[in-house]
Chains A and B, each alone.
Chain A
């Protein structure tokens, strides 16, 4: 895998030589986009914060919680050096002395090795940056950038409405850069490798496959090729995590954001869960609805109350007592939550139902 190449501070030295402005320019030219799912230009994000005056912060989002996603874990295990170097370069470019790594509670076993890498990298680079690890404690919502801020501020992990965006008003009210682990690991490589390519991504492949693992694949690869790699057989659907929704399996489907969008699903952080023909999409919908019911933070009404009713309706369909009007209500409620919820979790938590109703209506039987 190209992403596992170690920069060994070569990029750091190059960035120091270039200066912040030219380093940011280089990243923009290379086209590095955020790996968290929003695909925002990383260089542009840094520039917004660089130009702000006063205190500012960097947060490395290592709260990888999307079901079916485990690529950041691989990077934290196999190439933490590049992640720290990415943070160093970001800190240098925006001119800050304080960075945070928000490590999800479930990855606590990585804390000590990460700490060691931080110390070694900071010593070797002779940087005065301070990098603190904040450990999450089991809240999916804290992967949201505004919730992560609240969590580091010692509050409940409630997201807030955007704008203001974190680069304008972030941690402790100061301009803040929040980057995903994979984005930061790519920073050094984009700086030192001329042939670095933004479309090469880490895909987390799991589900009904014999070779589940992280694959480094170009965005735009055909689904059939990915299924072949992971040895997936008798597949009927592919889910993009829990929040991205699902599409029916078609070996010719092109896996990029635009194509997936046409099917009303979301590629997000490139997590593909293959579902075989023995499984019912209704059972899966119940499983995912349980997840969102549990993980809804409770701040806004559509998501908090809506998800309870979504689960009830799905269970009613499962019990065989549902009528056509229940399906209609399920669809209406799903759309309402999507359109009125406050944060990304709420706006995407019913994608799986809307796409399943669209493509697999047969699995949702009514009287």
Chain B
């Protein structure tokens, strides 16, 4: 057993989320056993952070920034276009499980507004044309 102070729970949860596109119960139970952190504690922590989910998401997550700089540079038009192309609403996943759509707080791309995060990648100066190419 590792010393509790040396376990970086957020880093581990992030790896699990990345591998399975969510936090599966089985993996959380395994983690609890391995680290000796009670299951309920892991859930308590994980449920606080917006990048973790217990429901399975699409293979790719699109996070559209809707904070002030992006908002005043037309993020809602981009949202409309994403919804039109993928035929899903915010917090939904496409039928083929390829994409999930979320709104996010500022991602630090205010100099390239409007911006999105596609999985780990920050993509700025997004236009409808760029979006159509990206989501083809």
Stretch binding the partner chain, chosen from A2-10, A65-73, A250-258: A65-73
B-facing mask of A133-172, CB < 8 A → 1, else 0? 1111111100000000001101111000000000000001
Contact present for A107 and B108 (CB under 8 Å):
yes
Cα of A134 to Cα of B8 in the assembled complex, Å: 7
Given A154-B37, A207-B72, A212-B113, A106-B9 contact (CB < 8 Å): no
Contact present for B105 and A136 (CB under 8 Å):
no
Given A67-B69, A206-B69, A207-B72, A157-B105 contact (CB < 8 Å): no
* Chain B min CB distance to A175 (Å): 15
Interface magnitude class on chain B: 35 or more
The 8 Å CB contact of B104, one of A132, A138, A275, A288, is A138
Cα of A120 to Cα of B41 in the assembled complex, Å: 36
Cα of A138 to Cα of B51 in the assembled complex, Å: 5
Q: Does B110 have its Cβ within 8 Å of any Cβ on chain A?
A: yes
Cα of A157 to Cα of B4 in the assembled complex, Å: 18
Q: Does A105 have its Cβ within 8 Å of any Cβ on chain B?
A: yes
Residue of A at shortest CB range from B112? Answer: A212
Given A208-B72, A290-B66, A140-B14 contact (CB < 8 Å): no
Contact present for A134 and B11 (CB under 8 Å):
yes
Contact present for A273 and B69 (CB under 8 Å):
yes
Contact present for B108 and A213 (CB under 8 Å):
no
Stretch binding the partner chain, chosen from B80-88, B115-123, B128-136: B115-123
Contact present for B14 and A105 (CB under 8 Å):
yes
Q: Which residues of B contact A (CB under 8 A)?
A: 4-5, 7-11, 13-14, 37, 41, 44-45, 47-52, 66-69, 71-73, 104-113, 117, 120-122
**5 more CB-based (< 8 A) A-B contacts, given A139-B49, A207-B110, A291-B106:** A67-B105, A106-B107, A139-B50, A206-B111, A212-B113
6 pairs of A and B residues whose beta carbons are closest in the complex? A206-B110, A137-B49, A138-B50, A67-B67, A156-B48, A154-B9
